[in-house]
């Protein structure tokens, strides 16, 4: 105990009253997208970002052990202190090629990559122009990019979600000397919709802005060979290994000069221990598998569309989703929590997403389709959800 615990307890009680209290719990991963609760109950996983079902793939586990045998389980320190294994250099070259870029720079997490990138870009703006950058962001970008802006001491200007006309109006007004930077995602994690990459690329070129695109939820699962959807449009691409690639860590892909700048000015690169060889071995295996997984990507897309059609037929709201992420928007915290419990009682895990992750009134079940799901499982989940929603009057929905 500390003498300040009453402050934290008060805050926790307020969160509970709002239906926003979060508590981690034990769920043991099993093969083929099944999770086991502490009481032995098995749940079909419709919540994780393991889009291709790779996190339990035998090749990833095998390759992780091979890398551990070769390089050890830990990297020991920052890459600038203890050096970089040749295998890591080769992986960065493969990641750059995947994204159609000259170079790539690896990080231990997607959060770290984004929180490092923005301050480093702010520093080059000051060094090259003598002025801070003008950062314009889609209002729905990930919290890690907002954190990067805060760490850089930059107040971003937000454009309405996926509104290219609004973005252009802001770019037209951004006429100061600082570097103009656009921050967006290619696939948005809560709505499952896509950015208009062609329009974004055209605007960035027209107004001489640096376009940075977070492809966390597109890498591996969308585009030819899982390349994502930003290739040829973005100046900087951020990707992760923790979603479709079934591992942990992230990378920034761009020009050789920008990546060298990150090595020299990126605090998350300089002051953080490099990723574990175990992680890198799994990444190598996932990259080997990606070109062979087109049928899995098509299977996931078909299941997502099947689920959206079920929801549409029942009059339920799935927003602008066009990817493997399908939100079932229900409005209130209590409704989302109750639905999540009903779904779990039926043997499925579909977590309730509440503020601050989504705006107030936008609470939802975030249903995520994986390569190991079957059409029967999707139909069963839809049936459970539709039956549960009958208990909630129309007035309680958004």
User: Strands 348-349, 42-45: parallel, antiparallel or unpaired by DSSP?
Assistant: parallel
267 a catalytic residue: no
Q: Which of 47, 48, 186, 189 is catalytic?
A: 189
Q: Taking Cα atoms as reference points, which of 381, 362, 368, 380 lies closest to residue 317?
A: 362
215 a catalytic residue: no
Interatomic CA distance for residues 226 and 287, integer angstroms: 9
Q: Which of 47, 48, 49, 114 is catalytic?
A: 49
Q: Which of 99, 217, 227, 310 is catalytic?
A: 217
Q: What is the three-class DSSP state of 357?
A: coil
227 a catalytic residue: no
265 a catalytic residue: no
Interatomic CA distance for residues 159 and 209, integer angstroms: 15
Enumerate residues 6+ apart whose C-beta is below 8 A from 87.
Answer: 67, 70, 71, 277, 280, 284
Residue 352: strand pairing partners: 365
* Chain centre distance of CA 234: 17
Q: Which of 57, 142, 227, 342 is catalytic?
A: 142
Interatomic CA distance for residues 336 and 278, integer angstroms: 37
Q: Taking Cα atoms as reference points, which of 225, 236, 226 lies closest to residue 200?
A: 236
Q: Which of 45, 50, 214, 231 is catalytic?
A: 214
114 a catalytic residue: no
Q: Which of 45, 92, 185, 235 is catalytic?
A: 185
Helix 86-98, helix 277-289: angle, nearest 10: 40
Q: Contact at 8 Å (CB) between 123 and 169? A: no
Q: Which of 243, 299, 342, 373 is catalytic?
A: 243
Give catalytic residues, as residue numbers.
49, 142, 185, 189, 214, 217, 243
């Amino acid at each position: 105990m500390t003498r300040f615990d009453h402050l934290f307890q008060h805050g926790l009680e307020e969160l509970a009253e709002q239906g926003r209290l979060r508590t981690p719990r034990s769920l043991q991963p099993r093969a083929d997208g099944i999770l086991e609760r502490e009481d032995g109950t098995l749940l079909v996983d419709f919540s994780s970002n393991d889009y291709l079902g790779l996190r339990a793939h035998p090749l990833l586990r095998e390759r992780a052990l091979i890398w551990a045998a070769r390089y050890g389980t830990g990297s020991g320190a920052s890459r600038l202190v203890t050096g970089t294994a040749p295998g890591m250099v080769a992986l960065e070259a493969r990641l750059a090629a995947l994204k159609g870029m000259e170079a790539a720079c690896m990080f231990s997490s997607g959060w770290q990559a984004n929180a490092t990138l923005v301050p480093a870009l702010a520093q080059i703006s000051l060094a090259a122009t003598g002025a801070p950058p003008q950062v314009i962001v889609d209002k729905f970008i990930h919290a890690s990019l907002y954190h990067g802006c805060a760490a850089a001491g930059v107040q971003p200007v937000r454009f309405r979600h996926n509104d290219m006309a609004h973005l252009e109006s802001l770019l037209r007004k951004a006429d100061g000397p600082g570097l103009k930077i656009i921050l967006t995602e290619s696939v948005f994690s809560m709505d499952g919709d896509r950015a208009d990459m062609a329009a974004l690329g055209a605007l960035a070129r027209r107004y001489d802005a640096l376009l940075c695109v977070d492809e966390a939820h597109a890498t591996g699962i969308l585009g030819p060979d899982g390349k994502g959807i930003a290739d040829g449009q973005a100046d900087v691409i951020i990707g992760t290994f923790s979603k479709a690639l079934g591992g942990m860590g992230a990378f920034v892909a761009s020009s050789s000069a920008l990546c060298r700048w990150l090595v020299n000015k990126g605090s998350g690169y300089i002051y953080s221990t490099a990723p574990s060889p175990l992680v890198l071995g799994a990444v190598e295996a996932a990259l080997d598998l990606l070109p062979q997984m087109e049928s899995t990507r098509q299977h996931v897309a078909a299941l997502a569309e099947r689920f959206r059609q079920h929801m549409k037929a029942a009059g339920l709201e799935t927003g602008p989703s066009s990817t493997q992420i399908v939100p079932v928007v229900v409005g209130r915290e209590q409704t989302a929590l109750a639905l999540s419990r009903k779904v779990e009682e039926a043997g499925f895990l579909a977590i309730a997403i509440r503020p601050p992750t989504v705006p107030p009134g936008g609470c939802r079940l975030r249903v995520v389709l994986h390569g190991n799901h079957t059409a029967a499982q999707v139909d069963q989940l839809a049936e459970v959800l539709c039956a549960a929603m009958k208990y909630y009057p129309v007035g309680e929905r958004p």
